[in-house]
Amino acid sequence: MESDVSRPLPVPKPRPFPIVGVAPGPRCGQTLTAVAGPDGDLSKARLILFGGATALEGSSGKGVEAPVSPGPVGAGIRLAGATNDVHIFDVRSGKWEKITPLGEPPSPRAAHAAAAVGNMVVIQGGIGPAGLATEDLHVLDFTDPERPRWHRVLVQGAGPSARYAHTLSLVANRFLVAMGGNDGKSTLGDAWALDTSEKPYQWRKITDAGEMPSPRMYATAAARGDGLLLLCGGRDAGGTPMGDAYGFARHRDGRWEWHAAPGAMPTGRYQHGAIFVGNRLHISGGAVGGGRMVDEATATVVLDTNAGQWVSPAPVATPNSEDLGRRCRHAVASVGPFVFIYGGLKGSQLLEDLLVADDSNGAELSVFDPRAQPWVQWMDATHGNATAAAMLAKAAQEEAAAAQALSVRRVGAMDDMSGINEQIGSIERANRLNESPVGRSSPDLTLSRGQASPTTPDVRLWHRAVVVHQENSLRGLVRQLSIDQLDNEGRRVGVYDGKDKSPLFTRSMSNAGTHKRVINELLRPRTWKAPEDRHFFLNAQDIGELCDNAERLFRDEKTVLELHAPIKIFGDLHGQFGDLMRLFEEYGTPSTAGDITYIDYLFLGDYVDRGSHSLETICLLLALKIEFPKHIHLIRGNHEAHDINALFGFRLECLERLGDDQGVWVWRRINDLFNFLPLAASIEGKILCMHGGIGRNIHKIEQIAAIPRPVTMEDGGPILMDLLWSDPTTNDGVTGVQPSPRGPGLVTFGPDRVKDFCKNNGLQMIVRAHECVMDGFERFAQGHLITLFSATNYCGTAANAGAILVLGRDLVMVPKLIHPVPPDAPRTPDSTGNIDDDGSHPSGPDTWMQAINDERPPTPPRGRPHLPGSSLEYF
């Protein structure tokens, strides 16, 4: 990366926030951490300022026992007045507030480190009047915003020793990573990680991660949204400023890796600030030794990790224009596109200003008065959900009371996963000891190895399913049931007799584009609402851009994808966008604020038709594919074909919502894209996923892989027809190949076909979709095949649950279910045909698709009889 001065960053005179409320006052060596509001509402974000030094020795700090932080700051300057005060800045009101949290606070300190973990701030290390602070983790918990509380976290085993001038970051929304600093004896070059999803908590020292950076203190570390941590600058053991940068990330196989960033900062520095806004790492201020700070020309630099360039601002001859970066030991945080800088040290002066800079256009940094238009417009745009947030807060209280009454627990996606992993771990340990876990009532579903490698575990279906409570008022409450307790899933299972390493700096997140707009507009699991007028927010040109970008990705993929665990698998969605949002809300979201950095997503087709929001569904999935091309995977279903979705709703939806001309063009363009979709996916070489099944003609995976793309249904022949249209027989007792009730030429295949196919291809399981099943998933062939369906209450009549399968790294597969929203609950965005009490269909903009469903009824759920005279109209 070479310094690029051809794109100067204008640095106009900064005008700090006017002081409102009880401000922290002059200080340096403090931390500033951004905590989002309820449901991630950035307009209600708060900046949490903790600790710092409030005086210089010999000034207003008389009487302080000892200097806070020895070492060169300026000529003869030593700090004093360490504090453990907590101040909160409300970004919406611009008001400071000093708070006194409940619980025992950490000791006064500065040069400590902090990181936000959800609605908590974690504090570690630092140095105070009595010397080094303890190595304990202190957590400031804002779960109850009105009653914040301090906790001390118990961590098992050895961890980072007491230290100061180190870094602490949350990586991939899961790992606390502490690096470097000084333990009072020497400058350190170690790195430690704590997995917040594992209990009991324990630090693990990271070794074997490639070339480690040299020891340093007063460096910065900032985490990019996709889990890449950037360590920049610092001071080495001899006091020399450093200008290097290192990327640090965790691969999905558990390995950590260091990688030196090409190039160097325009000026080496320490005691600086750094924060990411999107892909751009903003570095401000810093010291260069000898009592000097960075010069004005390089006081603010930006590392554009997409372009791979350091960008330096050109000098701007305006009064006080150096205020943004001509400081050290200050604190930096970001909210949305805005960078906040508080306080610091400038020469022999402690600062107390709060500056805000705008990076919303991703091309330049503008410092402005917070009362100016960029701030006002952004706040107006992000504060539209204030009423919804208040309702959610009230609902959370009601849920807590309901949870206590029902003896079920309220968990987030991360807590849910960690709890399951703990229980799975006990089961796996029992299996290794040939013991049976206590309370296990279901049969052993361990599958035979076939020809799979003995060096990796067998695929296993976990004996319990995770179920979200079906009552709308209790959403977010989950319980775990034995899969044998489910009403429908086990009825038809009879006794059957017969990872790539990628360079860290190629992990850059995508450039801005239409897909970013789609994600921002649609990926809102709690707050998305269907437009009342049915207008779709994209036009044909936007959708065409999505298709062009996604098609380039699909062209480069294999017909049979080769994927790895951990991965989530989704069945049919059929335009029921509200169900997709519920699944994301309950079980994790494919975003950098969710779990995309450590688990892949696989969708098994049938994205469109039947439901009333096919455009939202397919456009969001394409946008996610563009944003996370290596971790979002889409394969083709039978409804991804023009002759089918012309009849079952997608074409009509395009016309209704985009107009006739644009609608027809969009419908054709998306169907052209469908011809490029991969047709199947292999996971760890042990699980084959497809939409329909193996039918009569498919005997080897190579037959699927040999199908050229793009391919239409007409050109795909019997292999493609079987792959997208065939079903298992009604139960394990019906073997062979039978005619399908779906229509002439289609077949069902028995458990013997499944067994032979798995044996001949070295597989342990087939996962497919295509059929509505009452519990959202259903076993067949003694558990060697699973049917998965993710849309609830299919077509408004089936009353089925929806499910996903979560496959962990240990190849244990966990079903996770949601139930239909009850008919008397508020209408959900995809309630396309719920039946009112009087037996009629509810009126409203979301029910227009019902006419198609009435005219062409869906295939009944598995196990229910087909209507007389059923034909290919039943899909």
Write the DSSP assignment of 63-129 as a string of letters: T-SS-SS-S-SSTT--EEEEB--EEEEETTTTEEEEE--BSPPPPSBBS-EEEEETTEEEEE--EET
Structure-block tokens of residue 105: 């606070």
Answer whether 0.85 is exceeded by the pTM: no
Whether the pLDDT of residue 488 is over 80: the answer is no
Instruction: Give residue-wise pLDDT tens across range 567-623.
Output: 999 999 999 999 999 999 999 899 877 888 889 999 999 999 989 999 999 999 999
Q: Which residues contact 617 (CB under 8 A, 6 or more apart)?
A: 573, 575, 576, 577, 580, 607, 608, 611
Domains recognised in the chain with CATH numbers: 3-382 (2.120.10.80), 460-496+514-719+765-819 (3.60.21.10)
**Low-confidence winner among 76-85, 493-502, 626-635 (lowest mean pLDDT):** 493-502
Instruction: Give residue-wise pLDDT tens across range 785-838.
Output: 999 999 999 888 878 899 999 998 889 999 999 988 765 554 444 433 333 333
Whether the pLDDT of residue 487 is over 70: the answer is no
CA distances from 734 to 522, 738, 772 (A): 44, 9, 19
Instruction: Give residue-wise pLDDT tens across range 226-255.
Output: 788 999 999 999 999 999 999 888 887 778
> Residue 263: its pLDDT value, please?
76
Residues serving a catalytic function are 639
CA–CA dist 810, 684 (Å, integer): 11
Q: Are strands 338-346 and 349-358 parallel, antiparallel or unpaired?
A: antiparallel
Instruction: Return phi, psi of residue 580, to 5°.
Output: -60, -40
> Residue 143: its pLDDT value, please?
85
Query: Buried b / exposed e across 132-165, counting CB within 10 Å, b at 16+?
Result: bbebbbbbbbbeeeeebebbeeebeeebbebbbb
> Residue 326: its pLDDT value, please?
81
Percent of the chain beyond pLDDT 70?
A: 71
- If DSSP states are collapsed to H, E and C, what string results for 243-288? CCEEEEEECCCCCEEEEECCCCCCCCEECCEEEEECCEEEEECCEE
Helix (H, G, I), strand (E, B) or coil at 591: coil
CA–CA dist 815, 802 (Å, integer): 10
Report which of 148, 155, 239 is spatially closest to residue 198, judged by C-alpha positions.
155
> Residue 32: its pLDDT value, please?
96
Whether the pLDDT of residue 71 is over 90: the answer is no
Whether the pLDDT of residue 116 is over 70: the answer is yes
Instruction: Return phi, psi of residue 46, to 5°.
Output: -130, 145
Percent of the chain beyond pLDDT 90?
A: 48
Whether the pLDDT of residue 871 is over 80: the answer is no
> Residue 787: its pLDDT value, please?
96
Whether the pLDDT of residue 182 is over 90: the answer is yes
